[in-house]
Amino acid sequence: MRSANMFWVHFIPVEVNPEIGVCGGGPPRTPLFPELFRSFETHPYVLWEGFMHELVYFYPQGHEAHMEVGHPERPDRVEAMVKALTEAGWWDSFPHLEPAQVPREVLEGVHTADFLGQLEEVCSRGQRFDMDTYTTISSWDLAIKAAGGGIAVAQQVWERDAQHGFALTRPPGHHATPNRAMGFCLLNNVALAAEYLIQDKGAKRLAIIDLDQHHGNGTQDIFWARGDVFYFSTHQYPHYPGTGRVGEIGIGDGEGTTANFPLPPFSGDQAFLTIMDEAIIPLLDRYAPEVLLVSYGFDPHWRDPLGNLMLTAGGCGVLISRLADWAEENCQGRIALYLEGGYDLDAAAACAQGVVAALLGQEWDDPLGAPHQPETSAWQAMFKEARQLWDL
């Protein structure tokens, strides 16, 4: 196990008020040793206790109201994951966060004011935003709550109240651009979490690692010309939405902080793990982000009906284990996962177990195993190009 729920003991500078006792030094906490408390009243430091959760979740209460009959982005996706995590004993064991308020400044730091108004209006009528992206009269409220849940998880991880976080954000978000909802996505949850940490917590360098089957064009667009977020993506190509070529690396202040690894169909565990170990991890070393935010779609799994990648659930877990280990060594363990795609329910359930096992540092057996055909090596040509581009 990587670590456990833990207490820590530390000393905090305080002032002594003769009427109310010890004050200052942040929010009050219970003394670790109450019998010693009085002996510290005239001393400039006092002993406190703290507690850090190993993992926190966000669950999108009421998300069933965002649905369209026959659409692959459906409530069953989240419920299959919850069922699987419950069966593994990893759901009720950790706190579930309420969504935070999403400051307007953060919303408009990611999306345009015109788009936000347009999206709220479309949702109020329960109309489609485009051919792929439906709404209901509950979708705006649920999208805001999903964004707030993602922010709550990011805040807990950033402030070290939790070591790791997993936000089951629904509706998903990584295709949502500054001015458009698309690809089943309404608001860009992971981008809003990153923007919140930058605006409200003073974060200077963040990394978003997008492991969905589809390129996160929205997240790329949002941070395309910014140097405070390094966006990585592994995705099937050519495929929807048609972006994410190796040469797309950002512009202006953002030049060199977008790294794309477009994978041909039938790329699997070997391709993903090679890219993680020989490209993403070395680039993280160079950039030195203060926190890792992972857009995790489970649709690269070989069972997924919307694509042709061949990642296993075990491979999903290994990828997250690599990132969690990097975070442990380089950014105080700060890593949070954000649900994106994944449309085969059995695969989503297995992958959810795999990534949570990785976050907890626990052994786990993949119940679905390997695909029925071997992965191809066609991805190696792309990777050679990427290595040359990034001098790896």
Could you give the CA distance from residue 64 to residue 75 in angstroms, rounded to a whole number?
5
Residue 41, classed as helix, strand or coil, is coil
Which residue type does 261 have?
F
Report which of 196, 149, 145, 147 is spatially closest to residue 176, judged by C-alpha positions.
147
Question: Which residue(s) pair with 16 in the sheet?
Answer: 22
Active-site residue (options: 175, 214, 215, 235): 175
Say which DSSP state 276 is in: I
Q: What is the CA 309 to chain-centroid distance, rounded?
A: 21
Q: Is 389 exposed, middle or buried (0-12, 13-18, 19+ CB in 10 A)?
A: middle
Say which DSSP state 259 is in: E
Could you give the CA distance from residue 89 to residue 17 in angstroms, rounded to a whole number?
46
Say which DSSP state 64 is in: G
**Is 175 a catalytic site residue?**
yes
> Do 336 and 291 meet the contact criterion of CB atoms below 8 Å apart?
yes
Q: What are phi and psi of 239, to 5 degrees?
A: -175, 170
Residue 37, classed as helix, strand or coil, is helix
Paired tokens of 218: 């929205």
> Do 5 and 53 meet the contact criterion of CB atoms below 8 Å apart?
yes
Could you give the CA distance from residue 145 to residue 151 in angstroms, rounded to a whole number?
10
Could you give the CA distance from residue 134 to residue 140 in angstroms, rounded to a whole number?
11
CB atoms within 10 A of CB 136: 16
Paired tokens of 80: 């299959």
Could you give the CA distance from residue 141 to residue 379 in angstroms, rounded to a whole number?
41
| Token pair 């626990």: residue | 362
Would you say how long the chain is, in residues?
392
Question: Which residue(s) pair with 56 in the sheet?
Answer: 165
> Do 211 and 300 meet the contact criterion of CB atoms below 8 Å apart?
yes
Active site residues: 175
